[in-house]
Amino acid sequence: ELKVEQNPLFLSMQEGKNYTIYCNYSTTSDRLYWYRQDPGKSLESLFVLLSNGAVKQEGRLMASLDTKARLSTLHITAAVHDLSATYFCAVDMPLNAGGTSYGKLTFGQGTILTVHP
């Protein structure tokens, strides 16, 4: 059974600081997604990482994927209050080497990020 673990689960940051959220998963996969959820809201897709070494950046957020280490990171640069939210990584188990799957996402526990002035 695929297990996905995020750490830290709670992250309190000061504005302007940098930090990294880690997402470890237990079995081979090269499909990893990062989502953001604001309180009482839906999940907003942030990044789609589909190969080893993939790196994507959007604003102050940068995500990377190391499939050999089964690790993805979400790096926050110069945090601002607007980044306060819960961040989830989700891993899709591939059916075969062709890169297909059933879309059965297994989510991490979520990291609650609070950015203070």
Using CB under 8 A as the binding rule, whether residue 109 contacts other proteins is answered as yes
Based on CB atoms, which residue is closest to other proteins, 2 or 77? Answer: 2
Name the residue among 38, 62, 65 with its Cα closest to residue 49.
65
DSSP per position, 19-76? EEEEEEESS--S-EEEEEE-TTS-EEEEEEE-STT-EEEETTEEEEEETTTTEEEEEE
Stretch that binds other proteins, among 18-26, 35-43, 64-72, 73-81 (CB under 8 A): 35-43
E strand or H helix at 10, and its extent? strand 10-14
Using CB under 8 A as the binding rule, whether residue 22 contacts other proteins is answered as no
Stretch that binds other proteins, among 10-18, 22-30, 68-76, 93-101 (CB under 8 A): 93-101
Number of residues forming the site for other proteins (CB under 8 A): 27
CB of 98 to other proteins, least distance (A): 5
CB of 85 to other proteins, least distance (A): 11
φ, ψ for residue 82 (rounded to 5)? -65, -15
The DSSP call for residue 18 is -
> What is the C-alpha to C-alpha distance for residues 24 and 11, in angstroms, rounded to an integer?
17
Binding site for other proteins (CB under 8 A): 31, 33, 35, 37, 41-45, 48, 86, 88, 90, 92, 95, 98-107, 109-110
